[in-house]
């Protein structure tokens, strides 16, 4: 029951999906929520994959229209929460101030020019990756649309547990204080299970899964150091920006792989 409540907490905090059930905000359920991040990613991936399949296989819509709908659904499911973090972090980063001043800029509810430009570039790039991926759609692509949010949520969990907070209070601090040494133990279990299932369904997917895992690890290793040097530690906005950056990176890899890998 604690695990289910943790998943509900994940859905309530990281998506716009309404769940009319109140979960107590205590350390037990928050810690379970962190454990369930990858499962939340799989649930999101299931939504995106199902919509993609229905549009590609059963609708008369053009590739452009299908790509736009998928692109839009990706935003709507998260309620634009992470994009808001992306804009705030962009404004703070491109101010070229010290970490303390950057934190103050992120608190400002107003969006600056750098925030607007950066979110336009991010969303435009993702639309390009989605469009060209859908344009050369193959059955195995559905698997990778399914797992992109999975790896995105692994990024979030790793950053929450392994990067110090830049603030002394807030939701981010609550999540960090609830985490224990064993919180991330479930993540390798998820990965092994995913690799085994994928291998038996699509043996040829193993190489691409390794590529996804490799670049996710590289991304986490780099961004962990940059978060501390740029902002002095983790904040909610930085987490949101990290999700957007990581998932867009994986979309780019999915887009690029056919250019370098041939049957």
pLDDT digits (tens, 9 = 90+) for 228-241: 888 888 888 888 89
CA distance 256 to 230: 29
Distance of CA 178 to the CA centre of its chain: 21
Phi/psi at 95 (5° precision) = -75, -20
Least Cα distance to 146 among 72, 219, 61, 254 occurs for: 254
pTM: 0.92
CA distance 263 to 248: 25
CA distance 46 to 155: 19
For the chain, list the strands marked E by DSSP: none
Given this model, what pLDDT does residue 263 score?
47
**Percent of the chain surpassing pLDDT 70:** 95
Residue whose token pair is 């390009």: 128
Q: Domain map of the chain by residue range?
A: 40-260
Given this model, what pLDDT does residue 69 score?
95
Distance of CA 5 to the CA centre of its chain: 21
Using one digit for the tens of pLDDT, what is the confidence trace for 114-131?
Answer: 889 999 999 999 999 999
* pLDDT-flagged residues of the chain (< 70): 1-2, 168-172, 181, 260-263
**Bridge partners (DSSP) listed for residue 164:** none
């Amino acid at each position: 029951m604690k695990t289910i409540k943790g998943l509900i907490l994940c859905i309530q905090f990281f998506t716009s999906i309404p769940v009319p059930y109140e979960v107590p905000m205590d350390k037990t359920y928050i810690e379970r929520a962190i454990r369930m991040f990858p499962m939340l990613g799989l649930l999101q991936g299931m939504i995106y994959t199902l919509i993609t399949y229905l549009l590609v296989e059963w609708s008369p819509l053009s590739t452009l229209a299908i790509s736009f709908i998928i692109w839009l659904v990706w935003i709507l499911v998260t309620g634009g929460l992470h994009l808001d973090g992306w804009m705030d972090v962009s404004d703070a980063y491109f101010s070229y101030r010290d970490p303390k001043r950057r934190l103050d800029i992120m608190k400002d509810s107003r969006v600056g020019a750098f925030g607007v430009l950066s979110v336009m570039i991010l969303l435009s790039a993702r639309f390009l990756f989605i469009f060209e991926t859908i344009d050369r759609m193959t059955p195995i692509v559905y698997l990778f649309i399914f797992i992109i949010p999975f790896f995105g949520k692994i990024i979030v969990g790793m950053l929450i547990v392994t990067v110090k907070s830049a603030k002394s209070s807030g939701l981010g601090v609550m999540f960090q204080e609830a985490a224990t040494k064993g919180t991330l133990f479930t993540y390798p279990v998820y990965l092994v299970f995913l690799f085994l299932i994928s291998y038996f369904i699509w043996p040829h997917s193993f190489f691409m899964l390794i590529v996804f895992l490799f670049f996710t690890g590289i991304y986490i290793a780099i961004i962990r150091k940059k978060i501390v040097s740029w902002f002095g530690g983790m904040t909610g906005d930085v987490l949101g920006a990290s999700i957007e950056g990581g998932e867009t990176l994986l979309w780019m890899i999915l887009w690029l792989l056919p250019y370098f890998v041939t049957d």
